[in-house]
Amino acid sequence: MGPRLWTCFGNKGSRYVAEGSNNNITADVTPEEQTRSGPVVVEMFSSQGCTTSPAAELVLSRLGRGDFQLEMPVVVLAFHVDYWDYMGWKDPYGSSQWTVRQKAYVESLGLDTLLTPQVVIQGLAHCLGNDDTALVEAINNAPRYPALNFQVRIPVTIYNATFLSAEQCSQGPHVICSDFYGS
């Protein structure tokens, strides 16, 4: 199968969510927006050097397979951090880029420390990756944003970089994140 493009669009800014207060994170999103919106993004930070990460990766795998029968689509992303490498086992998938990404979430969520396996849901809430009950609850409570309406010109590829031109976006400023993937 050839490479595909996954894109996530959002126009709502991140909001601070205190631990244990996930029930109100959709307060400013109408029920209509909740039902007609895009996927919930679930990001897990783990490491081969963390003893509890394998169980969390199994939970994430089950989530990706659809075992939890959620009513909304879920985009599952996994990032291996490198701060466990000092213990002697270097995670071949670990990257300081993912550690920096997780640190940004720790700061924006008002947490005290980095931890694995940590799951961040829609950039607004977090839980331990091996707690499937908390994960499903956080996904069900996550805000969902309506799809954008805009036009995209045909991409131009130069040296493995693709440039897209988005025009006529009538709904204000947005953040557009995209990723190429293949299987």
The residue length of the chain stands at 183
What's the pLDDT at 144? 79
Residue-wise pLDDT tens digits, 121-161: 999 999 999 999 999 999 999 987 765 555 555 565 556 66
The one-letter amino acid at 106: V
Our measurement of the distance from residue 75's CA atom to the centroid of its chain's CA atoms, rounded to an integer in Å, reads 7
Mean predicted lDDT score pLDDT of the chain: 75
Checking if the pLDDT of 17 tops 50, the result is: no
Per DSSP, 71 falls in state: S
Rg, the chain, Cα only: 17
Instruction: Report whether CATH 3.40.50.300 matches the domain 13-146.
Output: no
pTM score: 0.66
Q: Which residue ranges make up each domain of the chain? A: 13-146
Is pLDDT larger for residue 108 or for residue 25? 108
Task: Please give the pLDDT value at position 19.
Answer: 40
Q: For 45-77, how does the pLDDT look when each residue is reduced to its tens digit (9 = 90+)?
A: 999 999 999 999 999 999 999 999 898 889 999
